[in-house]
Amino acid sequence: MRTAHDASTYVAAQRDAAADLPAAGRRWLDQCRSAALAQLELTGLPDQSNEDWKYTPIRPITREAFAPAQAGSDCPRQFVVASTIPNLDSYRLVFVDGFWSPALSHLDDLPAGVTLAGLGQMLDNDPARIEPWLGSALGSEPHGFIAMNSSFVGDGAVVEINAGVVLDKPVELLFVSGCGGSGRLSLPRNLVVAHSGSQATVIERHVSLLENRSLSNSVSEVIVESDARLTHHAVQQESPRSFHVGGLFVRVGRRAEFRSTTVTLDGALVRRDALINLDDEQAQARLDGLYLAFGRSHVDNHTHVVHHAPNGVSREHYKGVLGDRARAVFHGRIVVQPGAQQTDSQQRNQNLLLSRDAEVDSKPQLEIYADNVKCTHGATVGQLDEGAIFYLRSRGLDQVQARRALTRAFAADVLERMVPTALRSYLEQQVNDRMQAVSEIER
């Protein structure tokens, strides 16, 4: 019999808050919340008897009862300014502890055919517009954290790009947690819909106030309709005292293309799930990831790509850099359903250990139920090449410089495919700064 962590504190908190959630009383939304709450109450939060959580103990989260954040928390404007990406020209929505802050957002000159708004505002003012999409990419909640998010669904970002619209600059979703004090839980729910033939880039960033301990439980649903092109970058750079559980759920239509880059820079415990459904013929997806884990941090990436139709293409490449006593988990699963002939799928996971005490568990997985496909997968775990270090030292670099150069080169190819350039340059600097602070690189 499988056990689980008790979720009664969050179940009680949801029941206390239910009447005050946006659009409370709307039958379809109440039913969605109630079904998710029932699942959370039944299954609890996942423990290590759950195969998908075997290597990720969540006791650091469950030993503290995080209180759902309330709207209206103050976030220092200077912190938002300091968190801005230099030279990035974007449409920006800012969320404070999961709630949209119009005062901190920047939506000037938004073109016709584009909707950027808070989910709570849309649920209150135009719920019929949200009803067809909310939950459509998610399906059933895969674990208790996702069920918790669905039971509280109330605010987050709505990004809708009308058919044929090519957005001239990226949409930036900036989530700031910990503004309401330590011990707060934020639950943003994001909905991105790229209608037929549209093109857009969405940058989802999570940051936090350094002094406060917080839990972010974020879910993003993405619909990419036929012939659309959507790029989604997720950057997790919350503080070393913060916990982050994130889910990305995507449906990709005929001849559509979805590109994703996930970058994890910090956090005490970070778990990210990605479920990508290639629903129709010639659908394409590319998933890139870079995760850094130092100190005693724990980073867990679970990806699940499902090919439902013929001639689909998927590429997946995740890289990790670990030092100190950090731990990382990668579980990548590719499923080729019956009838999804001519599927072309590749998956790679590579890890660089900078310390003897760092540890990684990597599990690439293929499930193929069609007979005319081309699928490969693989994983590597290693350390810096001493021969390469010797060569660089012979060219005038000292030990520290040589190790830094090789580590940066290992991480570079994930970032170099990112656009816009301002985001790529910013992340390259963030990665460099992060690595310079690590004791193992200095040895």
pLDDT, residue 438, reads 67
pLDDT, residue 141, reads 65
From the CB of residue 270, how many other CB atoms can be counted at a distance below 10 Å? 26
Helix (H, G, I), strand (E, B) or coil at 41: helix
- Residue-wise pLDDT for 370-418, tens only, equals 999 999 999 999 999 999 999 999 999 998 889 889 999 999 999 999 9
What does the alpha-carbon distance between residue 48 and residue 139 come to, in Å, rounded to a whole number? Answer: 23
pLDDT, residue 211, reads 77
Domain range list for the chain: 8-280, 388-438
- Give which of 27, 237, 247 is closest to 156, Cα–Cα: 247
- Residue-wise pLDDT for 214-272, tens only, equals 999 999 999 999 999 999 999 999 999 999 999 999 999 999 999 999 999 999 999 99
First to last CA, the chain: 47
pLDDT, residue 4, reads 77
pLDDT, residue 1, reads 37
Work out the average pLDDT over 67-95: 93
Work out the average pLDDT over 143-162: 98
Residue 442 has pLDDT above 50, yes or no: no
- Percent above pLDDT 70 for the chain: 98
pLDDT, residue 435, reads 82
Q: Where are the beta strands (DSSP E) in 57-198?
A: 67-68, 91-96, 99-100, 114-118, 157-161, 171-177, 184-186, 189-194
From the CB of residue 48, how many other CB atoms can be counted at a distance below 10 Å? 15
More reliable by pLDDT, 75 or 221: 221
- 189-194 vs 171-177, strand pairing mode: unpaired
pLDDT, residue 17, reads 96
Helix (H) / strand (E) element for 14: namely helix 8-17
Q: Where are the alpha helices (DSSP H) in 268-398?
A: 386-394
pLDDT, residue 439, reads 45
What does the alpha-carbon distance between residue 46 and residue 51 come to, in Å, rounded to a whole number? Answer: 10
- Residue-wise pLDDT for 9-49, tens only, equals 999 999 999 999 999 999 999 999 999 999 999 999 999 99
Highest mean pLDDT out of 117-121, 207-211, 411-415: 117-121
- Give which of 178, 181, 144, 180 is closest to 9, Cα–Cα: 144
- Give which of 290, 262, 289, 259 is closest to 276, Cα–Cα: 259
- Give which of 154, 263, 266 is closest to 208, Cα–Cα: 266
